[in-house]
Amino acid sequence: MSQQHTLTIRVNYHETDGQGRVHHANYLNYFERGRVELLRSLGSSYKQFEADGRMLVVAEMNVKYHQMAEFDDELTLTTTVLEAHGARIRHRYEIFRDDELLVFAESVIACVRSDGRATRLPAELQQGRRRS
């Protein structure tokens, strides 16, 4: 069962380069916003996740740029959990402007303790259950 969240993003001027297009590195920030909001939609928060002594760190990121977004564009980011087991979560990201796919990406996120050692994801994230 996949877990999914959709977020609307308005491109800010400071996210663009000299050509008025979103700088490629800013898409990584968008993906992080998507992951944080997905976690929130599942009944958790990243702030509490860290307070519990765990962190989610990027282990892999693969991004394909199809078209560039520009200042003031309204984008739709869909973040989907493809797999979540053990200490890893694999996500897919799709950014659209209207019906046009701009960016497609996949990541592997590792769950680690504050000392950097891998640790299992909480059961509710592995099984897709909401927190009570």
Q: What is the DSSP string of the chain?
A: --EEEEEEEEPPGGGB-TTSBB-TTHHHHHHHHHHHHHHHHTT--HHHHHHTTEEEEEEEEEEEESS--BTT-EEEEEEEEEEEETTEEEEEEEEEETTEEEEEEEEEEEEEETTS-B-PPPHHHHHTPPP-
Known catalytic residue at 72: no
Assigned domain for 60 exists: yes
The more confident residue out of 2 and 29 is: 29
Contact (CB, 8 A) for 61 and 16: no
Is residue 43 situated within a structural domain? Answer: yes
Is there a domain that residue 32 lies in?
Answer: yes
In a domain, 115, yes or no: yes
Average pLDDT, stretch 39-62?
A: 92
CATH number of the domain residue 81 falls in: 3.10.129.10
Summarised one tens digit per residue, pLDDT across range 52-102 is 999 999 999 999 999 999 999 999 999 999 999 999 999 999 999 999 999
Instruction: Say if 132 falls within a structural domain.
Output: no
Is there a domain that residue 39 lies in? yes
Is 87 in contact with 120 (CB distance < 8 Å)?
Answer: yes
Q: How many domains does the chain have?
A: 1
For residues 8-26, average pLDDT: 96
Structural domain includes residue 71? yes
CA dist 130 and 117 (Å) reads 26
Which structural domain range is residue 84 located in?
3-127
How far apart are the C-alpha atoms of 72 and 79, rounded to whole Å? Answer: 21
- Cα Rg of the chain, angstroms: 15
pLDDT at 71: 97
Catalytic residue among 17, 73, 98, 115: 17
Q: What pLDDT was estimated at residue 113?
A: 95
pLDDT attached to residue 1: 40
Closest alpha carbon to 72 in 131, 8, 13, 3: 13
pLDDT at 28 over 70: yes
Summary mean pLDDT of the chain? 92
Residue 25 within any structural domain of the chain: yes
